[in-house]
Amino acid sequence: MQREITLRVNQWDQTLSIDDADTLLEVLRDRLKLWSVRESCGVGACGTCTVLLDGKPVSSCFLLAARAAGHEVTTLESLVDGETLHPIQQAFVEHRALQCAYCTPGFVLSVKALLEENANPSDDEIRDYLAGNLCRCAGYAEILRAVRAAQEKLRA
């Protein structure tokens, strides 16, 4: 069934006519052309399509768009301020925490949520929090270092 919803995405209200079956991923990509949001597994298991819903990471491939109405959706596009990268993005660049980088948008958003919840996580807490984001290039050591560096930058 078609219905009209208002989605608040990156601090903009967007009124859209959607199908009940549309996932948040489909609406963000196919309708709003937010290309940082990427499908990979389609079953909420890999974290590639992660966006923030009221600041918490969710798999947008596994959430119906209608369910996101009334919530604040954040995608990677909103993190850059003009030409200035977000401190987490700066840390990812400085520590080479990206290779093919298909997973990077999801990781950066998960790290953002992690550090907002817990400004001073232990290594085990970081590993637990990021366990749902997969990187097949397996650059996990660099990602761990980037989280540490981002933490310092955000504290400064």
What x/- string results for residues 97 through 126 when contact with another protein is judged by CB under 8 A?
A: -xxxxxxxx--x-----------------x
The piece of 7-15, 50-58, 72-80, 112-120 that touches another protein (CB under 8 A) is 72-80
Burial 114-146 (b: 16+ CB within 10 A, else e): bbeeeeebeeeebeebbeebbbeeebeebbbbb
Size of the site for another protein (CB under 8 A): 49
Distance (Å, rounded) from C-alpha 125 to C-alpha 107? 15
Distance (Å, rounded) from C-alpha 75 to C-alpha 104? 12
Which residue is listed with tokens 């079953």? 43
* SS3 (DSSP) at 37: coil
Cβ of residue 71: shortest distance to another protein, in angstroms?
Answer: 21
Q: Does 5 bind another protein (CB under 8 A)?
A: no
Cβ of residue 70: shortest distance to another protein, in angstroms?
Answer: 25
Q: Does 23 bind another protein (CB under 8 A)?
A: no
Among 17, 131, 152, 155, binds another protein (CB under 8 A): 131
Count of Cβ atoms closer than 10 Å to residue 98 Cβ: 20
Residues of this chain that interact with another protein (CB under 8 A) are 21, 35-36, 38-43, 45-46, 48, 75-77, 79-80, 85, 89, 92-93, 96, 98-105, 108, 126-128, 130-144
